[in-house]
């Protein structure tokens, strides 16, 4: 994939550079990201947002780690991919033949309203990999870097992002469980106990035993698609 022109590195409208370290800088970045997530996004828009966040956070992360004395250097990001994965929210691939670049990938499911915090954390996690030696993995340096970034930038980077931390669109789920009494609604990826035996469960909200199960068909997924 061709690399993007430099001009995209510091996109207008997103706080960047030193302003990120000022009070409210990261909050402003979060708010700007959340605003973009609140609109329906196709793969192209998701990739633009990912690239913008990389352009803003990358240099900040690199200088923060260097200031703390870690021997790091941010590789150039040669490609950004949006995946359909649900098990892995992000990845950083460093080609064996060229240690000066990396390819980042992010799950498309991150790009959904309410996920700005999680998206920033996952982007920062992969950028941390992009700064560290290729064989580091989630080793000592990774943990040190993670602590530094969480403390200084107010992030919540984790080694493994909890699935529950990510809000996902309905399009991902296969079952919808609705309490007929109060409207309380849940979504499930798989036909677990509640989906199979709804009569055994009571609604946590209203206490009634009135769950209705809907299978989210591909047709509905298309209709509700965001
Ligand atoms: Zn990782
Ligand atoms: Zn209920």
Per-residue pLDDT reduced to its tens digit, 166-175: 555 555 677 8
**Of the ligands numbered here, which is closest to the C-alpha atom of 203?**
2
Q: In what order do the strands lie in the sheet with 185-188?
A: 185-188, 175-179, 211-215
Please check the confidence at residue 10 and state whether its pLDDT lies above 50.
no
Counts for the chain of helices (H) and strands (E), in that order? 6, 6
70 near 145, Cβ under 8 Å? Answer: yes
| Cα–ligand 1 centroid distance for 137 (angstroms) | 6
* Secondary structure class of 118 (helix, strand, coil): helix
Alpha helices in the chain (DSSP H): 25-37, 43-67, 116-131, 140-153, 193-196, 218-224
| Cα–ligand 1 centroid distance for 91 (angstroms) | 7
**Of the ligands numbered here, which is closest to the C-alpha atom of 137?**
1
Antiparallel, parallel or unpaired: β 211-215 and 185-188: unpaired
Output DSSP code: residue 8.
Answer: G
DSSP H or E segment with residue 110: none
pLDDT of residue 55: 93
Q: What rounded mean pLDDT belongs to the chain?
A: 84
| Cα–ligand 1 centroid distance for 122 (angstroms) | 9
pTM, entire model: 0.70
| Cα-only R_g, the chain | 20
């Amino acid at each position: 994939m061709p690399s993007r022109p430099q001009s995209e590195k510091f996109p207008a409208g997103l706080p960047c550079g030193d302003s990120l370290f000022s009070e409210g800088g990261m909050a402003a970045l979060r708010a700007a990201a959340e605003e973009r997530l609140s609109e329906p996004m196709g793969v192209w828009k998701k990739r633009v947002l990912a690239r913008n966040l990389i352009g803003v956070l990358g240099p900040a992360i690199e200088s923060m780690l260097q200031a703390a004395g870690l021997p790091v250097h941010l590789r150039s990001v040669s490609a950004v991919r949006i995946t359909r994965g649900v098990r892995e929210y992000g990845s950083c691939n460093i080609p064996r033949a060229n240690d000066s670049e990396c390819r980042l990938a992010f799950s498309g499911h991150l790009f959904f309203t309410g996920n700005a915090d999680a998206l920033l954390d996952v982007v920062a996690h992969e950028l941390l990999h992009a700064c560290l030696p290729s064989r580091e993995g989630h080793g000592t340096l990774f943990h040190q870097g993670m602590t530094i970034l969480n403390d200084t930038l107010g992030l919540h980077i984790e080694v493994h992002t909890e699935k529950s931390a990510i809000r996902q669109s309905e399009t991902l789920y296969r079952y919808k469980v609705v309490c007929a009494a109060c409207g309380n609604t849940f979504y499930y990826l798989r036909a677990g106990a509640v989906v199979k035996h709804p009569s055994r469960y009571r609604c946590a909200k209203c206490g009634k035993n009135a769950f209705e199960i809907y299978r989210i068909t591909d047709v509905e997924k298309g209709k509700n698609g965001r």
